[in-house]
Amino acid sequence: MRFAPKQFGLFLARRLAYSAVVLLGVIVVVFALVQLVPGDPVRLALGTRYTEEAYQALRTASGLDRPLVEQFFSYLGNALTGDLGVSFRSGDPVTVLLLERLPATISLAVVGLLIALVISVPAGIWSALHEGKVSDVIVRLTSQFGVSIPDFWMGMLLILLFSSVLGWLPSSGYVPLTEDFGGWARRVIMPGLTIGVVAAAIMTRFIRSAVLEVSAMPYVRTARSKGLASAVVTRRHILRNALVPVLTIVGIQFATILGGVIVVEVVFAWPGLGRLVYDAVAARDYTVIQGAVLLIAAMFLLINLLVDVLYAIVDPRIRLE
The pLDDT of residue 118 is above 90? yes
Is 314:244 a contact under the CB 8 Å cutoff? Answer: yes
pLDDT of residue 99: 92
Tens digits of per-residue pLDDT, 52-100? 888 888 777 777 778 888 888 888 888 888 888 888 777 788 999 999 9
Amino acid at 117: L
Cα–Cα dist 106/272, whole Å: 8
The mean pLDDT value for 185-190 works out to 91
The mean pLDDT value for 249-254 works out to 82
**pLDDT band (50, 70, 90) for residue 243:** confident
pLDDT of residue 310: 79
The pLDDT of residue 143 is above 80? yes
Give, for 67, the enclosing helix (H) or strand (E). none
Cα–Cα dist 253/7, whole Å: 29
Q: How many CB atoms lie within 10 A of CB 265?
A: 25
The pLDDT of residue 111 is above 90? yes
pTM, two decimals, is 0.81
Query: Distances from the Cα of 180 to the Cαs of 175, 177, 186, 192, 268, in angstroms?
Result: 7, 6, 10, 17, 18
The pLDDT of residue 173 is above 90? no
pLDDT of residue 309: 79
Cα–Cα dist 16/36, whole Å: 30
Helix (H, G, I), strand (E, B) or coil at 86: strand
**pLDDT band (50, 70, 90) for residue 110:** very high
Is 63:71 a contact under the CB 8 Å cutoff? Answer: yes
Tens digits of per-residue pLDDT, 285-296? 888 888 888 888
Query: Distances from the Cα of 312 to the Cαs of 4, 69, 137, 210, 306, in angstroms?
Result: 11, 41, 35, 18, 10
Amino acid at 66: R
The DSSP call for residue 49 is G
Helix (H, G, I), strand (E, B) or coil at 44: helix
Cα–Cα dist 176/111, whole Å: 14
What single string gives the DSSP state of each residue in 14-38?
A: HHHHHHHHHHHHHHHHHHHHHHHSS
Cα–Cα dist 259/271, whole Å: 14
Tens digits of per-residue pLDDT, 295-307? 888 888 888 888 8
Strand partners, 93: 86
The mean pLDDT value for 155-178 works out to 88
For the chain, the structural domain boundaries read 94-273
Give, for 172, the enclosing helix (H) or strand (E). none
Instruction: Please state which architecture CATH assigns to domain 94-273.
Output: Orthogonal Bundle (1.10)
- Rg of the chain, C-alpha, whole Å: 24
Tens digits of per-residue pLDDT, 35-48? 776 667 777 767 77
Contacts of 213 (CB under 8 A, 6+ apart): 242, 245
**pLDDT band (50, 70, 90) for residue 4:** low
Looking at beta carbons, which pairs linking 162-168 to residues 24 or more positions away fall under 8 Å?
A: 162/189, 162/190, 163/190
Mean pLDDT of the chain: 83
The pLDDT of residue 319 is above 60? no
User: Alpha-carbon torsion 34, 297, 203, 119, what sign?
Assistant: negative
Cα–Cα dist 318/15, whole Å: 13
Instruction: Calculate ∠ Cα 150-156-161, nearest 5°.
Output: 125
The pLDDT of residue 162 is above 70? yes
Cα–Cα dist 266/258, whole Å: 14
Instruction: Give the rounded percent of residues in the chain with a pLDDT score beyond 70.
Output: 95
Tens digits of per-residue pLDDT, 305-318? 888 777 777 766 66
**pLDDT band (50, 70, 90) for residue 2:** low
